[in-house]
Amino acid sequence: MFYNTLNYNSNLESQNRTHHLKTILASVQPDLFMVCEIKNETASNYLFNNAVLPFHRSFNKAPFNQGQSPDNSLLQMVYYNTSKLILESNTVIQTGTRDINHYTFIVNTEIYETNPIKIEVFVTHLKASRGYFNRQKRLSSVDSFIRELDRLPVNSNVLFAGDFNFYTSNEEGFLSLIDEANSIKIIDPINRLCPTFPDDGKDYFDADYNATYFWNNSSFSDVHSQSTRSSALSDGAGGGMDDRFDFIMMSENLKTNKNLFYKNGTYKAFGNNGNCYNSYVSNTSCSGEFSQDLRTALYNFSDHLPIIMELETPKNTLSINKNIVPLTFSSSNIIRDNLSFKILSSLNINKVTIYNNLGQILKELSINNKKETNLHVNSFSKGIYYMKADSYNPIKFVKI
């Protein structure tokens, strides 16, 4: 999940809207939470302690980096689920505008030390506003990112997230980002690009502006992420939902990798029901998949919508929280036809998932706080299986 947190500061205004972020996080349930427009470390810590940790106690925050580029008033940050992800490194790429933060994560599998699955995560906030010089600043920052890609192995798993402020995929910076000649090819997971400018000598950016070739037209209404408001509040932009500024781009190999891959259909401008073009996101006429209460929280927290997507791996289902073992077998972990297990009484467990030895899901059980469960497994083949309660430590059983 990437989110522009709208000048999130260590002041009363930001603190008073933090409970809306708790509502949003509870709905999304992200394992990696990437943000921009954090003003300072105190603000980051407040957001972490009052929105992120109440949502999930297994989360941690990356070390906070002070700004190193000319505009150091708006900064990036990530928060992550330690039961799923291990932060290996954290660096800053300086640009002519704002920093690009680079985080290397390892998926927390049982074999992460010998066969690690890494994710190279970049978070940015490119220069805003129209005009040639602002476009060139966006291009320059993207080129700094592209040079960083040249330092990575060509098979790296890459996410590039941020408030990009591109008005069209015809912009020089966006074209540089998706250039097939880059050492690691970066793509839009949903491939929702604008029509190409006609080769007729016209300046479609300024002199002959035509919304057909930009994201701010109704054909992209389902992916618009800014602005959640028709009229500006005390902070942020108004104008209604009419721009696709926020992105999570990815390396092309995440379409085909076996150990880590993008799950088709999961990329969304979260809270956008696709029927709110040029209106505010909490408008009652914008009903659909995302509830009224959620859209109200989104309206009140920021003038942007979060962008979400899912990555899957057959390995991360066995990620370990080494401090808690929530499941125990009623008798033995060697079974024939009946599997009987107990839930640690102090835990609020809702679901138990059973996996085969390849990490594939075989069965999901709704527990609803039952303390003992029996399951017939006579249809299972002989072999080794794993049970996992919510995000806790898996345990192994053998079907004979």
User: What would the pLDDT profile of 10-48 be if each residue is shown by its tens digit?
Assistant: 999 999 999 999 999 999 999 999 999 999 999 999 999
What pLDDT does residue 57 have? 84
pLDDT at 368: 64
Closest CA to 152 of 85, 82, 103, 80: 103
pLDDT at 324: 62
> What are the tens digits of pLDDT across the range 209-235?
789 999 999 999 999 999 999 999 989
> Taking 80 as the threshold, does the pLDDT of residue 390 lie above it?
no
Domain boundary (312, 338, 368) is at: 312
pLDDT grade, residue 354 (50/70/90)? confident
Residues 279 and 369 in one domain: no
**Mean pLDDT, range 181-207, rounded to an integer:** 94
**β-bridge partners, 328:** 342
Distance CA 115, CA 313 (A): 13
Share of the chain above pLDDT 70, in %: 94
Instruction: Evaluate whether 322 touches 358 at the Cβ level (below 8 Å).
Output: no
Specify the pLDDT at position 393. Answer: 67
179 band by pLDDT with thresholds 50, 70 and 90: very high
**% residues pLDDT > 90 (the chain):** 71
Distances (CA, A) of 392 to 84, 318, 349: 10, 9, 10
Q: Flag whether pLDDT at 286 surpasses 50.
A: yes
The CA-based dihedral angle spanning residues 172, 214, 137, 93, taken in that order and rounded to the nearest 10 degrees: -90
pLDDT of residue 345: 60
The reply to whether 295 and 248 lie within a common domain is: yes
Residue 347: predicted pLDDT: 62
Are 262 and 254 in contact by the 8 Å Cβ rule? The answer is yes
Q: Is the pLDDT of residue 322 over 60?
A: no
For the whole model, what pTM was predicted? 0.80
Q: Among 143-147, 289-293, 377-381, where is mean pLDDT lowest?
A: 377-381
- Name the more confident of 342 and 283: 283
Average pLDDT over residues 313-328: 61
Same domain, 243 and 372: no
The CATH code of the domain that includes 7 is 3.60.10.10
Of the candidates 285, 312, 339, which is a domain's last residue?
A: 312
At 319, is the pLDDT very low, low, confident or very high (cuts 50, 70, 90)?
A: very low
Are 209 and 143 contained in the same domain? yes
The token pair at 248 is: 């999570």
Q: Are residues 296 and 346 in the same domain?
A: no
Calpha distance 117→249 (Å, rounded): 19
Of 312, 334, 362, which residue sits at a domain end?
Answer: 312
* Residue 59 and residue 53 in contact, taking contact as beta carbons nearer than 8 Å: yes
Same domain for 347 and 292, yes or no, is no
Count Cα neighbours of 91 within 13 Å in the Cβ-side half-sphere: 8
pLDDT above 80 for 331: no
Q: What's the pLDDT at 119?
A: 98
Residues 131, 266 share a domain: yes
Q: Which residue has better confidence, 368 or 17?
A: 17
Q: Do 295 and 369 reside in the same domain of the chain?
A: no
Question: What pLDDT shows up at residue 290?
Answer: 95
248 with 354, same domain: the answer is no
Q: How many domains does the chain have?
A: 2
Q: What pLDDT shows up at residue 348?
A: 65
SS3 for the chain, per residue?
A: CEEEEEEECCCHHHHHCHHHHHHHHHHHCCCEEEEEEECCHHHHHHHHHHHHHHHCCCEEECCCCCCCCCCCCCEEEEEEECCCEEEEEEEEECCCCCCEEEEEEEECCCCCCCCCCEEEEEEEECCCCCCHHHHHHHHHHHHHHHHHHCCCCCCCCEEEEEECCCCCCCCHHHHHHCCCCCCCCEECCCCCCCCCCCCCCCCCCCCCCCHHHCCCCHHHCCCCCECCCCCCCCCCCCCCECECCEEEEEEHHHHCCCCCEECCCCCEECCCCCCCECCCCCCHHHCCCCCHHHHHHHHHHCCECCEECCEECCCHHHCCCCCCCCEEECCCCEECCEEEEEECCCCCCCEEEEEECCCCEEEEEECCCCCEEEEECCCCCCEEEEEEECCCCCEEEEEC
Residues 161 and 287 in one domain: yes
Residue 335 belongs to a domain with what CATH number?
Answer: 2.60.40.10
pLDDT for position 152: 98
250 and 370 fall within a common domain: no
**pLDDT band, very low/low/confident/very high, at 336 (cuts 50, 70, 90):** confident
Beta bridge partners of 262: 311
- Domain of residue 229 covers 2-312
pLDDT over 60 (residue 183): yes
Which of left, alpha, beta for 37 (phi over 0: left; psi -120 to 50: alpha)?
A: left
Q: Do both 303 and 327 map to the same domain?
A: no
Output the pLDDT for position 316: 47
State yes or no: pLDDT of 117 exceeds 90. Answer: yes
